[in-house]
Structure 1
């Protein structure tokens, strides 16, 4: 009984530390935006997304390099994508006066589109990149460079698209406030705390799977991914309180792109072969769920629905919750 309590206390402790680090990431990211003149959407897409995805990065690398648990690594990355999109429900619930999708800039459709492409590719790889299609250069899959290139193409496209919109809006010139160095140091310290916790998480995940007799793909996708997605949760709550909704959305979508990049990095770190071949094909369910949820989000941005059930959430949120619950149930039944 003591071991049961201890492992869950460890997971709760990791969650608490991540929650405490989250607001500092938003605070210092906003100060970096003010000091550099970069838009809040771009800061969210790059800086916030990178920082809040550091647990997935460290968890993934330690899962494949130290814990020999590729299912936890892939499940954590793809599960985090699903959790990030589920957080849109929370944003919708917070905006009681109107649907949140009426307040989000449509520029985020570009990032969501790149996310669909990368998620679909990973879903396909965990299904077919084995046996005769398990093509590798040494231990690294030949499909990994494609994911890396796609990520940087997405970042470049988002940067220039954001820059183009900024020129068209002809907004006021930015003025540096002289605190860039301090903001970068604060950001780095908060990010370092998140990294340290991320190193510990895969080992906790394996203990939970053993003690509870659960499947590692289920634990990695639901519990580890849920914990490593806590920075995104804290960030969007903080950003919403500050009225920075586009920074919050950019952070969520950017985290999804970075999480897919993490799978490519995990493949490089996994010396026993291709991570796509080692991971269970059931992870395609998470990838497909994230694709569906991204599609729902894109439709909502274009359609901008206004109807709300019980004055709390709209049909978009109900659809997102339904996809999440269905994919979680399938993983519980079919996971390994």
Structure 2
């Protein structure tokens, strides 16, 4: 029994390590390709990078819905990733010595953060309302009515942010791409494809391991998806954020985190399209709404920090905004843990 349990944990951590390594390299080679193809000088370069860092969430959710058929792990991974991505800002604040990141970062990020609140909260509302047994009133065929609205909101957000922040993103992406003058296009393309292959394979396998873990530990799939799968699939976001910090590209780091959350909700809409058993929102635990609203509140705190621009640091080199984000993350984890054991 103990040996079998250890084997399941080993497989899960192996998936995490492989996604972390491959996701980091995938992001690195995406930067090179963007630079050498001229994509780094326009909006496509940023979209390319944001899509790459969210590839593990996309692949894992596709496998969870089409092969393993565990919708709670799929949605839990997405909602939990939105929450954990904002915890990355706490890590960033801790590593950024001297001043709070909210004092040094551009206030222009408030637009993408505001769209994040709208998209995440709307998805959470969809999860919550779908639990009221009125799914027939809010869906057509096997697709929830929330899905096309999410798609439209995402496209509106991308265009609005492009118009508002084009010059800032252009500079930031150039800074990241300038790290790789010694890498050829052939090497970058080969590395990108191999890394993507690893992410795809491991991403498809991860839901099966997560299901084993949930069954063996007696945990529900919502808990496992939100707290374990989410952290694993968010490792590329963490890697590119830390890489941006090393070259003093703070605004690129924030753009990556906030942009990834926007794309995660777009993935949720795509998941509803490929889930052929009915409306995805109607077939999942309403407790996913807790993670959604937690992520929305956390994003609101980020906006407050960017507007208020606090200088002071309260504990271990982090300020009150980051402490609040961390508190909300653990509160969300506790609620899901309590629900898991009730």
TM superposition score normalised by structure 2: 0.88
Equivalent residue for 1:73? Answer: 74
| In structure 2, C-alpha distance between the alignment counterparts of 1:4 and 1:307, rounded to whole Å | 46
Among 138, 142, 147, which residue is 2:145 paired with? 142
Kept in 2: contact 1:26–1:238 (CA 8 A): no
Q: Could you tell me which residue of structure 1 aligns to residue 157 of structure 2? A: 154
Following TM superposition, by how much is the alpha carbon of 1:191 offset from its aligned partner in structure 2, in angstroms? 2.8
**Residues 279-308 of structure 1: per-residue CA shift (max 9 Å, x gap):** 111111000100011001111111111111
Matched, 1:214 2:215: no
Q: Residue by residue, what CA displacement relative to the aligned partner does 1:208-231 show, whole Å, maximum 9, x if unpaired?
A: 111100111101100111111111
Preserved contact between residue 119 and residue 288 of structure 1 (Cα < 8 Å): yes
1:35-77 Cα distance to aligned partner (Å, 9 max, x none): 326359874x522221121111111111111112111111110
CA contact (8 A) 2:103 2:309 kept: yes
C-alpha distance in 2 between matches for 1:23 and 1:165: 23
Trace 1:54-69 onto structure 2 (pairs within 5 A): 54-69=55-70
SS in 1 for 2:134: helix
Report the CA distance shift for 1:138/1:181 in structure 2 as closer, same or farther (over 3 A): farther
Alpha-carbon RMSD: 2.6
Cα offset for 1:129?
A: 2.5
Distance in 1 separating the partners of 2:44 and 2:253: 11
Q: CA deviation at 1:193?
A: 2.1
Runs of 4+ aligned structure 1 residues displaced above 3 Å come to: 32-35, 37-43, 164-167, 177-189
CA distance in 1, matches of 2:303, 2:331: 20
Is the contact made by 2:116 and 2:299 (CA closer than 8 Å) also made in structure 1? yes
Q: Deviations over 1:237-257 (max 9, x none)?
A: 222122222222211111111
Instruction: Specify whether residues 31 and 18 from structure 1 end up closer, same or farther in structure 2 by C-alpha distance, changes over 3 A only.
Output: same
**Quick check: 2:312–2:319 contact (8 Å CA) kept in 1?**
yes
Number of corresponding residues: 330
SS at match of 1:38: helix
Contact residue 4 and residue 211 of structure 1 kept, 8 A: yes
